[in-house]
Amino acid sequence: MSFFLCLFFLLFSSATAVCDRCLHQTNVSFFSKDQALQSGACGYGSLAIGFNGGHLAAAIPTLYKQGAGCGACFQIRCKDNTLCSKVGTTVIVTDLNKDNRTDFVVSRRAFMAMAKTGMGREILKLGIANVEYKRVPCDYKNKNLAIRVEESSQKPHYLAIKFLYQGGQTEIVTVDVAQVGSPNWAFMSRSYGAVWESSRVPTGVLQLRFAVTAGYDGKWYWAKSVLPSDWKNGEIYDSGLQITDVAEEGCSSCDDQSWIPDS
Ligand SMILES: *[C@@H]1O[C@H](CO)[C@@H](O)[C@H](O)[C@H]1NC(C)=O
Ligand SMILES: *[C@@H]1O[C@H](CO)[C@@H](O)[C@H](O)[C@H]1NC(C)=O
């Protein structure tokens, strides 16, 4: 057990370095072509288009966090009072933004959603908008966390999965897989973006356990039976659970009373 505590300390102390839930200022531009988002660094592919009504974002490296930031939600509101609503819009990170001039590049749909009703076309003409943003919990309503088996998986030697529809405001920091009923957990490692992999693949029906940053600490989740023994590449499986925790960050209070949640 001390191994895990130690691991936790290392993982969580680095994960809490940035105060994501504080209000940040930046400029935001948008992708002129939506297909840019389908080839996003997180590896969601064309599934991304269906997330959150297509309100997607590429985030700078400090928010992308080498893939740990994939699936994180941010509320963004622009500051032009004539064009922009006070609520703005909520985006999901699906890609890495390498352009250091803006913290995010968002989908055209998300950019337009920052506008007041009927002002969508006008805001697009700006091309770039001065905004405030902060991290917020992702809310998938009644949808569970799901696991997709990647096409790169090669039964029985190699398993690659990604997590979809991760609620709350946490990051998955470690993932293990085992046959249901077996104590022989095999650890998975982050391959890239939202994708985790292992070349020690148990047989039979598979269970997963994973840890997320939650509260000031970490929390284990146990998906007791996720992949059937005949799991198939390209299929999406229900984990039977959802994450709703919010990770606390060790930063001084930055809650803004004038902030209106986008719900
Ligand atoms: C946004 O862009 C404008 C114009 O280029 C610049 O003056 C301003 O400093 C930028 N704001 C931020 C927060 O980067
Ligand atoms: C942004 O990137 C450009 C090109 O790589 C570089 O010249 C510039 O110094 C960078 N700016 C900042 C603020 O890091």
Q: Each residue of 128-180: pLDDT tens digit?
A: 999 999 999 999 988 999 999 999 999 999 999 999 999 999 999 999 999 99
Average pLDDT, the chain: 88
Share of the chain above pLDDT 90, in %: 73
Ligand 1 midpoint to CA 33 (Å): 24
**Looking at ligand 1, which residue's alpha carbon is closest to its atom 13?**
26
Please give the number of the atom of ligand 1 that sits closest to the Cα of 101.
14
pLDDT, residue 250, reads 67
Is-contact 230 188, C-beta < 8 A? no
Ligand 1 midpoint to CA 26 (Å): 7
pLDDT, residue 104, reads 96
- Comparing 121-125, 153-157, 158-162, 253-257, the range with the smallest average pLDDT is 253-257
Domains and CATH numbers, the chain: 21-136 (2.40.40.10), 146-238 (2.60.40.760)
For residues 204-232, average pLDDT: 92
- Looking at all shown ligands, the one closest to residue 79's CA atom is 1
Please give the number of the atom of ligand 1 that sits closest to the Cα of 25.
13
Ligand 1 midpoint to CA 100 (Å): 12
For residues 228-238, average pLDDT: 97
Pocket test for ligand 1, best of 27, 29, 101, 131 (most atoms within 8 A of CB): 27
